[in-house]
Amino acid sequence: MSYSDLNSIILQKDAADSAAEVHGIAVAMLCLNKNTEASDWINEAFAEGPSLLQEDKVELNDLFEQTKELMESDEFVFDLLLPDEDEVLALRCTALMQWCQGFLFGMGRVQTSSEWPGDEDIIEFTKLDFDLEEEDIEEAENNLVEIQEYLRAAVMLIRSELNPAVEHSTVH
């Protein structure tokens, strides 16, 4: 599912959230509990407003399961659900901030301690100022890519810190 596909579902519900924000919620829920079900995320992210169409629930379930698989992969293939690179920079920057807001919301709904790796940085990313002059756009593009890479790594670190791998001991 693409960013625009998810945004279409959100617009049909007249929700104030964005695709990036609800994806951030999903990722946070998976960081806190790798066994979280798609239905838990759908109920949390889409609780208000009219009911979702069944086909939208199927699409959302698929997105959640895909996100879960990518986060569990050892290949570091997980990525944030954000607008494509050919979209205007302002839209991409706003979506990044919204993703961070969703992630923080998702973390805050269960995690009572604010002490987890990267929490302060992610909070700061919600306050980014992308009011740019024309000559600053290339630098801003590079900064945005760096922030996205940082967030990808931070998510994987947070997930591993909050969901330590179970050690399997061999019985002789």
Residue 67 lies in a domain: yes
Reduce the DSSP state of residue 17 to 3 states and report it: coil
Nearest by Cα to 31 from 171, 153, 170: 153
Give the model's confidence band at 166: pLDDT under 50 very low, under 70 low, under 90 confident, else very high. very low
Query: For residue 73, how far is the Cα from the chain centroid?
Result: 16
Q: Domain count for the chain, please give it.
A: 1
Lowest mean pLDDT among 33-37, 133-137, 165-169: 165-169
What CATH number is associated with residue 107?
Answer: 1.20.120.740
pTM, to two decimals: 0.86
Residue 21 reports pLDDT greater than 50: yes
- Residue 109 corresponds to which amino acid? R
Residue 172 lies in a domain: no
Q: How far is CA 123 from CA 32, 69, 74, 75, 118, in A?
A: 17, 26, 27, 27, 9
Domain membership of residue 146 as a residue range: 3-162
Over residues 154-167, mean pLDDT:
78
Residue 78 lies in a domain: yes
Query: For residue 169, how far is the Cα from the chain centroid?
Result: 34
- Give the number of residues written for the chain: 172
Tokens 């002059």 belong to 133
Residue 122 lies in a domain: yes
pLDDT of residue 116: 63
Residue 171 lies in a domain: no
Name, of 99-103, 106-110, 122-126, the range with top average pLDDT.
99-103
pLDDT of residue 92: 92
Residue 99 contacts by C-beta under 8 Å, 6 or more apart in sequence? 20, 21, 23, 24, 80, 81, 82, 151
- The per-residue pLDDT for range 130-160, each reduced to its tens digit, is 666 666 788 888 889 999 999 999 999 888 8
Residue 169 lies in a domain: no
Over residues 66-80, mean pLDDT:
89
Residue 168 lies in a domain: no
